[in-house]
Chain A
Amino acid sequence: MGTENTAITPKRESLFSKKNRKLLKDPLGDSNPITIQVLGICSALAITVQLQQAVIMSLSVLFVMIGGNVIVSLLRNLIPDRIRIIVQLVIIASLVIIVDEVLKAYQPDISEKLSVFVGLIITNCIIMGRLEAFALANKPGPSVFDAIGNAMGYAWVLLAVSIVREIFGSGAISLPGMGQVKFLPQDWFISSGGFYENNNLMILPPMALVVVGIIIWIQRSRNEALIED
């Protein structure tokens, strides 16, 4: 991909160099934050009842991760080692406050549904984990790619779980700005003489765990190297 770029400016690393692509790609699969590194599950599962909540949550996490990674990476030589956790928490908390205020202003319904879980992005271990493991030791450029990669790895699991839960639990799909679209014809349902019934178990919180468990099962049977002994 970047051969032309590197030929013209050999000293500058191209935007899509192999290293950057790896930073973006790895968290989507083999080092996925949720299914492999077991980070950031806390706020992830409770909001996967509907797709629109999951989309908003993923975007919020993407914003906070990029912001946090860039700020910490810029300040990495100024932050004293002993108090770095508190400094990181304050940076993350400020970014989360911005997200929360924006959501309250522009998406009040969804903000209501997400309730405390926007605030809990602060203690989302993915963000702290990436700040500790990557941003503190790397330049802002690669940190942005790392943030995007990990936020995307988080997002696809969230979206997959919420799509499964919403289709089987409510027979619908919802997107922010569109509301909930019920795509099954009304006369299919038993209540109006049909044969189909929504699986209400899917709406209950425990099913999020089972769906993630199944995603892990599929992922690990496709890639045997990930199996734990």
Chain B
Amino acid sequence: MEYFNIFVKGIFVENMIFAYFLGMCSYLAVSKTVKTANGLGLAVIFVLGITVPINYLLENYVLQEGALTWLDPDFATVDLSFLSFIMFIAVIASMVQLVEMIVEKFAPALYGALGIFLPLIAVNCSILGGALFMQERQYPSIGEATTFGLGSGVGWWLAIVAIAAIREKIRYSNVPAPLQGLGITYIITGLMGIAFMSFMGIEI
């Protein structure tokens, strides 16, 4: 039940886009058509599902105060958490590179769909954001951290596919000229955010 709760919370209540504005740059830039938005969204789910557990292990067995005791009991006072930014971003950048190579080798069809988006993802705020929220919230086990990663990935995918669908339709509406494109996208995202706020406080 705890897993389901974290998953649903990640999608709706603590949605990466509508509650924290993470990954807004690619959200705004790649949401012109549903097809590409879908590809990027799937890639984000994939990468979040991989990097959050890896960063969880890193946080709990290397970076935290006393995390290195498995090496030697003398390390109980060592606190490397000031290194977490640089470690997380290095893990994310190298994992994205690795995933890109693996997907290219073993699943060329998937590579065709995700390929161009994978390099973009290394600098997508939602990936680093996922790692940093994982660190802040102190999930008790790696299973819960992974569920959180997948849940927020699905939330991000949902948000970008929804805005892409709206943007495809809004082309036919008579939007005031200065608001066209970027401006109206911001305002629609704001309205969608207000709608998503109705999920706030849901406990399953």
Contact = CB atoms under 8 A, between A and B. Distances in A.
Contacts of B176: 217
Interface in B161-204: 176-187, 189-194, 197
B177 A227 contact: yes
A118 B99 CA distance: 27
Contacts of A100: 82, 85
A119 B132 contact: yes
Pick the most buried of B90, B132, B186: most chain A CB atoms within 10 A of its CB. Answer: B186
B25 A213 contact: no
A46 B21 contact: yes
Interface residues of B, number: 51
A211 to B, nearest CB: 8
A228 B182 contact: yes
A125 interface: yes
B103 interface: no
B2 to A, nearest CB: 22
A94 B182 CA distance: 33
A42 interface: yes
A224 B180 CA distance: 12
Interface string B63-94: 00000000000000000001111101110011
B125 A220 contact: no
B158 to A, nearest CB: 16
Contacts, number: 149
Contact of A213 (B82, B90, B119, B190): B190
Contact of A116 (B23, B133, B182, B186): B133
Contacts of B23: 42
A175 interface: no
> Main SS of the interface on chain B?
helix
B124 interface: yes
B18 interface: yes
Contacts of A219: 178
B178 A220 contact: yes
Main DSSP-derived SS at the A contact region: helix
Contacts of B20: 46, 205
Contacts of B142: none
Contacts of B180: 227-229
B42 to A, nearest CB: 20
Nearest to B177: A227
Contacts of A39: 25
A207 B180 CA distance: 19
A173 B25 CA distance: 29
Given A39-B25, A93-B85, A206-B197, A119 B128 contact: yes
A209 B83 CA distance: 32
A217 B84 CA distance: 39
Given A86-B93, A93-B86, A120-B129, A45 B197 contact: no
Contacts of A35: 182
Contacts of B194: 201, 204, 206
26 contacts: A38-B29, A39-B25, A42-B21, A42-B125, A42-B129, A86-B93, A115-B136, A116-B132, A122-B89, A122-B128, A123-B128, A125-B123, A128-B123, A201-B194, A206-B191, A210-B191, A212-B186, A213-B184, A213-B186, A216-B183, A220-B177, A220-B179, A220-B183, A224-B177, A227-B178, A229-B180
Give 9 nearest A-B pairs by CB, closest first. A206-B193, A228-B181, A213-B186, A220-B178, A42-B125, A209-B190, A116-B132, A210-B190, A213-B187
